[in-house]
């Protein structure tokens, strides 16, 4: 890739006409960069814009080279000054004509007017620069806003809200490629914050960088707008990486994890995917978190042949040759929940609350509704959680007008708080009129218990994992100082699956093929349930049902917890393939 500083140096040598000629060659006549800023600022903005395009900087370099060869770099000849003592011919045209004295006031007015316009232009240019071109170092412009697109192995801080002196010192040493010193600082950071997965991953990365060769995988998490989700996902990644590196890796190579931040936003997810694809050492990606973000990124990975293994995206619309997931799809979860609602709870009519803007919520709603109707049930009404809802009015209507005995809450990660408000409104009804609550795995998080409290007691969820008794769950609980959840477990499994494909001869192509045909993990190699992938990329796994109850040992800031609803005993022989 061309050097940014070299490009800037070449651009700074151009005069205005040469600059415009170069833009014409690039076919960017409509590029929106003001020329009333300094040439250097203008050129920095141009480089930034071309960085957003695939091979953009390469194209810019080629055009600069061609422009030079075509001799369009014409030297600008400044006007020759008049020699001292020289005289002008009386007939020579003068460039300065003195205005009559009576017109001086008009001239002053013009000066004031042009001065005002110049000041306003500068102000306008500054605003334009701030709003449409300039972004601070480390940020990219997305939908008109500057946002942090952090991609790091240890060179920069991930969670800006956390303070850890040793972590910062380790980051500084890592950036200077002083990996031995970085390891010492990261080890101290781990001891200072033992439940933070970032120092552990950075430590492992510094360790891997000390080898002559390494393996590189990436993980994409929503750092800036869903820190809790990002953290629990990274715990599973850290566990698998630590296990691999502590066992001396494979073929004398350790594992480095590149961490990327996509904010759970589609446009950012797409940009992050493009940046990861450009990192040729990356053999596979764990992520993304939300189904919407995964949907945006998948075509980028598909085109590059880079494997994507999601631990949390369940939408049935996610399909592709390089797409895999360790979590059962919404089709499996919806069917499980519908069967329980109709055949165990004997609910014949239901109201569904879902998020119309989430492909996860929509696919789970469709799967549940289709199976529920097939079993003879009826969905009386569908309510959009993104609309302006009156939770109390919606619950009263469901109970009194719709006359249903239960409601299904299927929020996305963005509307889970609205679902909790529905549950709270239900709790305000007289006890004998309260509706049975059912839901999807977006509510299978500690925040549901903490924010919902007794209002969510009895809530039944169809979820991807319940590993309270697995060996991994016990080990991870000791490591992180508390109970882990399904996102940590499935992220561990996703990393383990990709690790299984690594070898001296591993390429992006072999990783995809091995995930399809060779990965067979026993329950002792995963978070508790064996793993292989169908041709569709879906795992050969079933969903489980859990219920919020007081009978389970509390593991959060709530008196309630999730307890698995037993439906037959598991077969011990199902641990191996």
The ranges of the chain with pLDDT < 70 are: 1, 20, 24-38, 40-42, 45, 48-49, 51-54, 70-139, 141-144, 148, 468, 553-557, 566-573
pLDDT digits (tens, 9 = 90+) for 281-307: 999 999 999 999 999 999 999 999 999
pLDDT digits (tens, 9 = 90+) for 202-240: 999 999 999 989 999 999 999 988 899 999 999 999 999
What's the pTM value of the predicted model, to 2 decimals? 0.75
At 332 the three-state DSSP class reads helix
Q: What is the pLDDT of residue 441?
A: 93
The span from the CA of 82 to the CA of 59, in Å, is: 44
**Crossing angle (nearest 10°) for helices 39-51 and 56-69:** 130
The CA-CA-CA angle for residues 343, 348, 349, to 5°, reads 140
The span from the CA of 524 to the CA of 502, in Å, is: 19
Render 492-531 in DSSP notation, one character per residue. Answer: HHHHHHHHHT--TT--HHHHHHHHHHT--B-TTTSSSS-B
Q: What is the pLDDT of residue 119?
A: 54
Q: What is the pLDDT of residue 53?
A: 66
Q: What is the pLDDT of residue 420?
A: 97
pLDDT digits (tens, 9 = 90+) for 122-146: 555 554 444 445 566 666 766 667 7
Q: What is the pLDDT of residue 72?
A: 44
């Amino acid at each position: 890739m061309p050097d940014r500083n070299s490009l800037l140096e070449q651009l700074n040598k151009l005069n205005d006409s040469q600059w415009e000629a170069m833009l014409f060659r690039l076919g960017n006549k409509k590029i929106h960069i003001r020329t009333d800023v300094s040439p250097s600022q203008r050129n920095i903005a141009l480089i930034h814009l071309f960085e957003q395009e695939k091979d953009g900087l390469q194209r810019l370099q080629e055009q600069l080279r061609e422009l030079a060869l075509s001799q369009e770099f014409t030297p600008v000849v400044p006007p020759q000054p008049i020699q001292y003592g020289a005289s002008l011919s009386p007939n020579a045209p003068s460039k300065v004509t003195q205005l009559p004295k009576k017109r001086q006031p008009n001239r002053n007015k013009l000066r004031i007017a042009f001065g005002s316009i110049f000041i306003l232009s500068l102000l306008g240019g500054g605003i334009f620069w701030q709003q449409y071109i300039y972004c601070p170092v480390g940020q990219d412009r997305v939908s008109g806003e500057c946002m942090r697109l952090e991609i790091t192995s240890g060179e920069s801080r991930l969670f800006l809200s956390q303070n850890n002196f040793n972590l910062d010192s380790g980051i500084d040493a890592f950036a200077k490629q002083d990996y031995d010193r970085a390891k010492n600082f990261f080890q101290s950071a781990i001891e200072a914050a033992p439940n933070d997965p970032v120092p552990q991953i950075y430590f492992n990365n510094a360790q891997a960088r000390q080898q002559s060769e390494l393996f590189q995988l990436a993980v994409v998490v929503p750092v800036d707008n869903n820190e809790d989700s990002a953290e629990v996902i990274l715990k599973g990644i850290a566990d698998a990486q630590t296990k691999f590196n502590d066992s001396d890796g494979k073929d004398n190579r350790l594992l480095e994890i590149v961490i990327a931040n996509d904010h759970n936003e589609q446009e950012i997810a797409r940009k992050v995917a493009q940046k990861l694809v450009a990192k040729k050492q990356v053999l596979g990606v764990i992520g993304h978190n939300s189904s919407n973000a995964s949907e945006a990124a998948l075509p980028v990975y598909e085109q590059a042949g880079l494997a994507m293994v999601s631990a949390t995206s369940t939408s049935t619309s996610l399909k592709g040759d390089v797409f895999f997931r360790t979590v059962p799809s919404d089709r499996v979860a919806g069917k499980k929940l519908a069967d329980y609602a109709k055949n165990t709870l004997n609910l014949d009519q239901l109201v569904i609350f879902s998020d119309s803007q989430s492909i996860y919520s929509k696919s789970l709603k469709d799967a549940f509704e289709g199976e529920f109707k097939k079993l003879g049930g009826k969905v009386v009404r569908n309510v959009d959680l993104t609309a302006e809802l009156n939770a109390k009015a919606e619950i009263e209507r469901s109970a009194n007008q719709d006359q249903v005995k239960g409601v299904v809450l299927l929020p996305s990660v963005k509307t889970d708080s609205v679902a909790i408000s529905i549950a709270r409104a239900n709790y305000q009804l007289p006890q004998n009129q309260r509706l049975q609550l059912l839901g999807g795995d977006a509510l299978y998080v500690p925040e549901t218990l903490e924010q919902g409290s007794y209002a969510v007691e009895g809530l039944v969820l169809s979820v991807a994992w319940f590993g309270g008794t697995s060996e991994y769950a016990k080990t991870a609980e000791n490591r992180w100082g508390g109970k882990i959840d399904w996102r940590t477990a499935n992220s561990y499994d996703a990393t383990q699956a990709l690790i299984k494909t690594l070898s001296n001869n591993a390429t992006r192509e072999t990783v995809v093929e091995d995930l399809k045909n060779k990965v067979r993990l026993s329950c002792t190699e995963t978070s508790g349930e064996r793993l292989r992938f169908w041709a569709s990329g879906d795992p050969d796994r079933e969903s489980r049902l859990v219920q919020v109850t007081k009978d389970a040992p509390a593991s959060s800031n709530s008196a309630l917890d999730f307890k698995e609803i037993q439906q037959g005993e598991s077969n011990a022989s199902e641990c191996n393939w």
